[in-house]
Structure 1
């Protein structure tokens, strides 16, 4: 089984029993039912046992954490549940996405199952097929899913973006006064190549094939990067083109509560791909790569921790902090 290391806040959900609420040094995590699984599967094929224990993806929010295995099955840990972990009764899973108040599961067949108070208020703990609720029957095959704090976004095989859940801050691209939430996916934008949001995020970015970036949602701290002229607008109720984007190819954007981090790729003087980080918004504890303070458009993060031979492979953003994985196997916080 692959090794999983954990550090940080250990209360929501509480994955480690008899451990402090704050784990300041990385410790190894093992599933409580690992030995039981080994006993149950001792007569099965060795390859199946290996896939059963191999982690493909981990997605975590305030109330839950989902572990997805390479065999297409998943388990979840729920806040204050006495039945941790519990098996998710959905097969052939290829991706999971956990928001603060919802969960979404994408299957190999292109179906999306989700649960949450904003998804199914009558039965918030029951997964339902939300992709089947899309009005256009030709648009029901889903290629990607992204969860926000209380919304879920779907990217279809036709490259159309849909949103479902809360629209309190305009994060679905519609006037929040006339549409507070929706229990059916609604079309946000056509011709979309990527969707970017975050577990605690109330804002969203959509990228088209021409590398044009659009955003909407909560913007009180400048987290949409719309510039000084928009800094007093706490809500952007419709998708708005983001200007003054740094030159280069947008590889990824990760969204926290009040800030966003963008990963841009260019070529260096030797025509080798080189990546840089940019931030906008507000974050405590130097989450923008500098001392506390607001920025209203994407500004480069510079740090002595990035050496000349380093290249950034992946980024991950929490509420007020960031994780950066470099090509030299360094994890920078």
Structure 2
């Protein structure tokens, strides 16, 4: 079997019954069912709402947040043919192998937040209902269709859906954010999102108080009301971006820097945002994507 190593908060949900609420040293996690321990894990997604373990056979186990810390978390078997899961603060979504998206949570169905809803069927354009990829922010979920269009739903408190937050606080139905998109980048503790188009142009929107969108000093405290093109992006191919609550990290690949043709492409890390706790050896605000030495 592949081992699951755990450390951090053991409250929501309490995955280890006889352990403290905070596990500081990494320990191995085992399922109660021995058969489940023998399955290969494909993905784990977790927040203070729930934790989902996705197996390579397309099935998943969800542990829901419990109201009483002395009680065991509610355990749910999800039998869909799943290819990806994502969990944020109050919402979660599962993407099936067929390209259908199901989601549940407070910002999706406030009347019954534990009931999965077929989000794909809510997209008005019937040609856009096959979902290729999903990502989540803190209270928002994003989906990339097979036609390379991105939709968002959930909270728009900080404009993280690309619309003026004064006019749209949240939406339970997916709304079109941008066309011609190749990748979505966000994080389940973040109210910011980046969208990369097929021309390697990067756009972002959402929470930017700490400069985590990399827009520069003049726009550091702005809350973009719509998707904004990120200027001064380092040269090279954007491989990945991870968004946190107050910072973002970008991985760039630049093939032109290789002196030896047999070497792998040169990869560098860049970051922006607030590093007040000496993160990455820094103790400052970084307003544009800057290389991490």
TM-score (norm 2): 0.93
1:86 deviates by: 1.9
Instruction: Give a deviation string over 1:248-281, Cα, whole Å, max 9, x none.
Output: 1100000001110101111332243121111101
1:168 deviates by: 0.6
- Picking from 165, 173, 198, the partner of 1:184 is 173
Taking structure 1 as reference, are residues 11 and 84 closer, same or farther at Cα in structure 2, changes over 3 Å only?
Answer: closer
Q: How does 1:10-29 map to 2 (within 5 A)?
A: 10-29=10-29
Instruction: Give a deviation string over 1:111-152, Cα, whole Å, max 9, x none.
Output: 000011111111111111111100000000000010111110
**What SS class does the counterpart of residue 57 from structure 1 fall into?**
strand
1:110 deviates by: 0.4
Taking structure 1 as reference, are residues 79 and 85 closer, same or farther at Cα in structure 2, changes over 3 Å only?
Answer: closer
- Picking from 50, 55, 58, the partner of 2:44 is 58
Long gaps (5+) in structure 2: none
**What SS class does the counterpart of residue 94 from structure 1 fall into?**
strand
Higher mean Cα deviation, 248-257 or 89-98? 89-98
1:84 deviates by: 3.5
Higher mean Cα deviation, 236-245 or 267-276? 267-276
Instruction: Give a deviation string over 1:70-108, Cα, whole Å, max 9, x none.
Output: 111111112226464523444101100111111010001
What is the alpha-carbon distance in structure 1 between the residues aligned to residue 284 and residue 49 of structure 2? 29
Aligned to 1:34: 33
Aligned to 1:244: 232
- Picking from 113, 116, 120, the partner of 2:105 is 116
Instruction: Give a deviation string over 1:171-194, Cα, whole Å, max 9, x none.
Output: 000110011111110000000000
What is the alpha-carbon distance in structure 2 between the residues aligned to residue 10 and residue 264 of structure 1? 35
What is the alpha-carbon distance in structure 2 between the residues aligned to residue 181 and residue 240 of structure 1? 20
**What SS class does the counterpart of residue 224 from structure 2 fall into?**
strand
What is the alpha-carbon distance in structure 1 between the residues aligned to residue 136 and residue 79 of structure 2? 18
What is the alpha-carbon distance in structure 1 between the residues aligned to residue 96 and residue 228 of structure 2? 31
Displaced runs of 4 or more, over 3 A: 81-85
Aligned to 1:79: 65
**What SS class does the counterpart of residue 135 from structure 1 fall into?**
coil
Between the two proteins, the alignment pairs up a number of residues equal to: 286
**What SS class does the counterpart of residue 127 from structure 2 fall into?**
helix
Instruction: Give a deviation string over 1:6-56, Cα, whole Å, max 9, x none.
Output: 12222222211222233222111101x223x47xxxxxxxxxx95xx2111
Taking structure 1 as reference, are residues 274 and 205 closer, same or farther at Cα in structure 2, changes over 3 Å only?
Answer: same
Long gaps (5+) in structure 1: 39-48, 303-333
RMSD of aligned alpha carbons: 1.6
Q: How does 1:136-151 map to 2 (within 5 A)?
A: 136-151=125-140
2:23 is the counterpart of 1:4: no
What is the alpha-carbon distance in structure 1 between the residues aligned to residue 73 and residue 276 of structure 2? 32
Aligned to 1:285: 277
Q: How does 1:292-303 map to 2 (within 5 A)?
A: 292-302=283-293
Aligned to 1:312: none
